[in-house]
């Protein structure tokens, strides 16, 4: 993708407005991330930079990506367009090449400490984007009609999948679409857990 060397005044105004919105949420993000750093976040967890710092780190302009948004596809597919960066570029820059090894997960930690672990090979097989803006919306929020929730904050980052031509991904719904993502690391916990003899076979429970 070629880097843009010129943007019209309207685009510059849009970006300035976006950075102001980001500044408003930085206070809450900083407090949450500080709590995570002092609490249960592993020492190898890497904080995701803000969008401007991410662009500088990657030397790559943000892209537009249109997806079938699972949270809004209640009765029929609902398309939404986001702006963000290819996840593989972000993982390469922040985690190095080891994230591509078979058998490891990308662990994504939300501001509230919620953990999502996604097999690394999925990012190689499918296209994912870390997004920071929902096109056409002043706020980076999302409604969830299925759970009767409105204006759910997505910032600082929302992971989306390029699923428009991938029926299998659409069928998964919102699985592996973590929002409020703040930190990332390479994880082998799932692999280690599978080696524990005390764990019952998948789909079965220990006898009571």
6: in domain: no
pLDDT tens, residue by residue, 67-94: 999 999 998 999 999 999 999 999 999 9
d(CA 122, CA 129): 12
Please state whether the predicted TM-score (pTM) of the whole model is above 0.95: no
206: in domain: no
Tokens matching residue 112: 């509230």
d(CA 27, CA 23): 7
Q: Which domain holds residue 159?
A: 13-191
What pairs with residue 170 in β-bridges? none
208: in domain: no
Q: Which residue has the tokens 């031509």?
A: 165
186: in domain: yes
C-alpha angle 42-47-53 in degrees, rounded to nearest 5: 165
204: in domain: no
Between the two ends of the chain, the Cα-to-Cα distance in Å is: 58
197: in domain: no
Count how many domains the chain has.
1
pLDDT tens, residue by residue, 97-120: 999 999 999 999 999 999 999 999
Parallel, antiparallel, or unpaired: how do β-strands 105-110 and 181-187 relate? antiparallel
5: in domain: no
47: in domain: yes
pLDDT tens, residue by residue, 16-33: 444 445 444 444 444 444
């Amino acid at each position: 993708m070629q880097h843009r060397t010129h943007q019209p005044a309207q685009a510059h105004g849009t970006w300035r407005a976006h950075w102001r919105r980001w500044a408003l949420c930085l206070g809450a993000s900083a407090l949450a991330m500080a709590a995570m750093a002092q609490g249960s976040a592993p020492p190898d967890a890497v904080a995701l930079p803000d969008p401007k710092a991410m662009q500088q780190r990657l030397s790559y302009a943000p892209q537009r990506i249109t997806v079938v948004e699972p949270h809004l596809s209640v009765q029929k597919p609902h398309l939404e367009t986001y702006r963000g960066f290819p996840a593989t570029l972000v993982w390469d820059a922040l985690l190095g090449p080891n994230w591509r090894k078979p058998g490891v997960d990308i662990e994504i930690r939300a501001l509230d400490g919620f953990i999502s672990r996604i097999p690394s090979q999925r990012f190689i097989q499918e296209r994912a984007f870390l997004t920071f803006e929902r096109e056409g919306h002043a706020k980076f929020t999302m409604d969830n009609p299925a759970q009767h929730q409105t204006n759910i904050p997505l910032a600082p980052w929302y992971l989306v999948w390029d699923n428009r031509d991938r029926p299998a991904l659409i069928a998964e719904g919102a699985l592996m679409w973590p929002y409020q993502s703040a930190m990332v690391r390479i994880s082998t916990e799932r692999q280690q857990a599978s080696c524990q003899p005390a764990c019952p076979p998948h789909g079965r429970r220990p006898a009571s």
